[in-house]
Amino acid sequence: MDDEVAFLREMLEIYSPSGREAALAAYLAGRMRQMGFQVWRDEVGNVIGTIGEGPWELLLLGHMDTVEGFIPVRLEDGRLYGRGAVDAKGPLAAFILAAARVGPRPGMRVRVVAAVEEERTSAGARALLNAPAPDAVVIGEPGGWSSITIGYKGSLSVTYRLRAPRHHSAAGMPTVAEQAVRFWNRLADHAARCNQGESHRFHTLDPSLRHIATRSDGLTEEVTMGLNLRIPPGMDISELKARMREWADGAELLVEDEVPPYQAEKNTPLARRFLQAIRACGGTPSFKLKTGTSDMNIVGPAWGCPIIAYGPGDSALDHTPGEYIDLEEFHRAIGVLETAILNM
């Protein structure tokens, strides 16, 4: 096993679900110092490392946290398995290793951020908004070594809650569970109408029912339902929330998280450097629009600078029990990043 793969493997061995990134942060801070970075931790726990000095700054923004569920780390048939291998310790490791390979460049500062809580609140990315905007940003997310991602859908997380006096099943009145299902059906029907004629999921409204539970104390009954909606560009989120409150018919609707969609420009110096780097490394580059949400949605509209997302790995493996990264692709991505940085 080469040193770069060993570095990623050590990252995967440290379980770091959102809110529990401290052990991985300590490990990365130490290793990045050994690689030549100037390193510090900010107030929310982000690990920040810089190489080089100069007026022009490239920010490589990855995240340390993963979803819950440790996957035993193993190397098998050229694949490294483990939670975060794809989302997104693989891309973060590629950022660190590529920046270290390049080292200091005249007039240029490369800042690598290993952020916290991307999978929950994006607290790490939000904390960065207090500092001046960099000149260009690359978000560390899987898209494949020969692809550049320039857009992510928005996200709306909502809790539906309804409590009512209990009644006999023969009374002919709808239960709270039935009213919750009625609300869900209205939302799903609305999405189906919005999505008519759309062939690309980046442009569709996609609601998902994450959980539903009922309880009763003998006097009242209550239903709680957790929903997530993936929001396409151009959709009025305020109008959608108003419709949902109407369909709720008196039930409580609590918006837990709201992230607008974001799509970056294709034709920027940053994107062109990555297209050239992919070709130089033997690939045929392509652009992607993703149906999930990332820290690009947070920093992109705030900073307004050239921005893309890049990283090795198949995003279809995100959050799955069989998550792995192909090691040949991992090495190719490091080479693309190195080439792109050298040519900036």
Choice among 87, 118, 221, 318 that is catalytic: 118
CB distance 24 to 9 below 8 Å: no
Rounded-to-integer distance, Cα 280 and Cα 101, Å: 17
Phi and psi (nearest 5°) for 20?
Answer: -130, 50
CB neighbourhood size of 30 (10 A): 12
65 is catalytic: yes
Choice among 4, 57, 65, 318 that is catalytic: 65
CA 78 to chain CA centroid, nearest Å:
25
Rounded-to-integer distance, Cα 55 and Cα 108, Å: 6
Question: Which of 49-86 are b and which e, b meaning 16 or more Cβ less than 10 Å from the residue's Cβ?
Answer: bbbbeeeebbbbbbbbbbeeeebebeeeeebbbbbbbb
Helices of type H across 103-218: 123-128, 176-194
Q: What share of the chain is helix, strand, coil (3-state, %, to 5)?
A: 35, 30, 35
Rounded-to-integer distance, Cα 12 and Cα 242, Å: 43
87 is catalytic: no
Q: Give the residue numbers annotated as catalytic, written as ranges.
A: 65, 118
